[in-house]
Amino acid sequence: MSTIPATGAAPDRGRAGPGAAQRSHPRPVLPAGMGSVLGEGRLDPEVIQAARRFRSPVPHHQQDARRAAQLIGRIIEQGPMPLLMVNRPVHDAVELLERQAGRLPTIFDATGPPRSMHAMDAAGAWDGFRERRRTREQALGVHGSGDRAGHTIYGSLQLSHEVGGSDGRVRPNPGAVRYGRVSFELDPAVLRRTTISAVDSGAGPRIARIAPPWELREVIAERVMRSHGWIRDPNLSKPSPWGKAAQGERSRELRSLLREPSPAAAEAYLRAHLRDDTWIGRWYVESQVRGVDVSDIRGVRIDLRPGSGGVREATHGAALVAAEPRLAAAAEALGLRLLRIR
């Protein structure tokens, strides 16, 4: 077990460690190894600022929420080091790896919209979009500073290395495939310049709560509370398999289990929830990484399952298969293993 202080105060010279200001909720419990990774080097200034601003989303007056957070802490403590993953469409991933060096580009590096945003070719639309993104990132405290300003890469922090699908099979975690079939697994050291949030930071500072990575338990608890309707989530306002009706069923089931004398059934429910492929794809914890270099990539995964991934990639299976050899060659040239998920 590794623990680090639940404090936002900046330690000496930006290193992880005890600060002066202690907050009211308990020190967070982290997976083995994560605390030591965070304590081995300097923390990014925005990570320190996020720690100073962060407040626990778990309502102390709601017993169900408190018990759920406690069980989530136990699951996290007993689990492996989370995977920090960035998903990209296969064509973009191939081009990136074939360059063999350099930073992953952001919209602030581009002279025009990517292929998936052709509608923004209209005069002024792309520049306006970029400026709105810059303003939102600065308000959230995720834009980056110094030579990393404008180089924040959005990914996901995944608790489970394997996930269960609707077909009953357990597979390697593909990351947030809605953003692309290829996922880059990043070096854990990148966590020192990473913040996390339970919702898409695109929702803006009024909804997205930006946290340092050592507040993982609180962020996962917020995500679970949102997916069960205990915190209102604007992303669930429309009917869908993940919408209000299913949300109500999940809420009643979890509340019932949490009120049983033994926590075993509730813990089993939460473990399954955090390993479910639907939860992984739609309820992931967003990560905001200040600058990602090709040298930060430790592994590459490609999801070859029919129908997975975003709409654009799901409808171009032949192109995906055709690009796989190039991706494998580019990964091999960098000494990276390509994991195929079928």
pLDDT per residue as tens digits for the range 265-308: 999 999 888 877 665 555 678 999 999 999 999 999 999 887 65
Q: Residue 221, SS3?
A: helix
Q: What per-residue confidence (pLDDT) applies to 18?
A: 36
Q: What per-residue confidence (pLDDT) applies to 259?
A: 95
Length of the chain: 342
- The residue whose two tokens read 């601003």 is 53
Q: What per-residue confidence (pLDDT) applies to 118?
A: 60
- The residue whose two tokens read 């609707």 is 166
Q: What per-residue confidence (pLDDT) applies to 342?
A: 87
Query: What's the helix, strand, coil split of the chain in %, to 5?
Result: 45, 15, 40
Q: What per-residue confidence (pLDDT) applies to 227?
A: 82
- The Cβ of residue 299 has, within 10 Å, a number of other Cβ atoms equal to 17
Contact (CB, 8 A) for 153 and 291: yes
Q: What per-residue confidence (pLDDT) applies to 138?
A: 96
**Can you say how many angstroms the Cα of residue 247 is from the centroid of all Cα atoms in its chain?**
21
Q: What per-residue confidence (pLDDT) applies to 178?
A: 85
**Can you say how many angstroms the Cα of residue 29 is from the centroid of all Cα atoms in its chain?**
18
Q: What per-residue confidence (pLDDT) applies to 228?
A: 85
Q: What per-residue confidence (pLDDT) applies to 14?
A: 43
Give the amino acid at 250: R
Give the amino acid at 30: L
Which residues lie closer than 8 Å to 213 by C-beta, 6 or more apart? Answer: 34, 38, 47, 157, 191, 194, 195, 196
- The Cβ of residue 84 has, within 10 Å, a number of other Cβ atoms equal to 26
Q: What per-residue confidence (pLDDT) applies to 147?
A: 92
Give the tokens for residue 58.
Answer: 């778990």
Could you give the CA distance from residue 285 to residue 208 in angstroms, rounded to a whole number? Answer: 11
Whole-number Cα distances in Å, 74 to 34, 38, 91, 190, 197:
15, 20, 39, 24, 20
Domains of the chain, residue spans: 2-341
Q: What per-residue confidence (pLDDT) applies to 281?
A: 54
Secondary structure E strands in the chain: 2-3, 29-30, 83-88, 152-158, 162-164, 170-172, 182-186, 194-197, 285-290, 297-303, 338-341
Could you give the CA distance from residue 78 to residue 65 in angstroms, rounded to a whole number? Answer: 20
Which residues of the chain register pLDDT less than 70? 1-28, 114-124, 233-245, 277-283, 307-317
Contact (CB, 8 A) for 274 and 285: no
Give the tokens for residue 97.
Answer: 């790896």
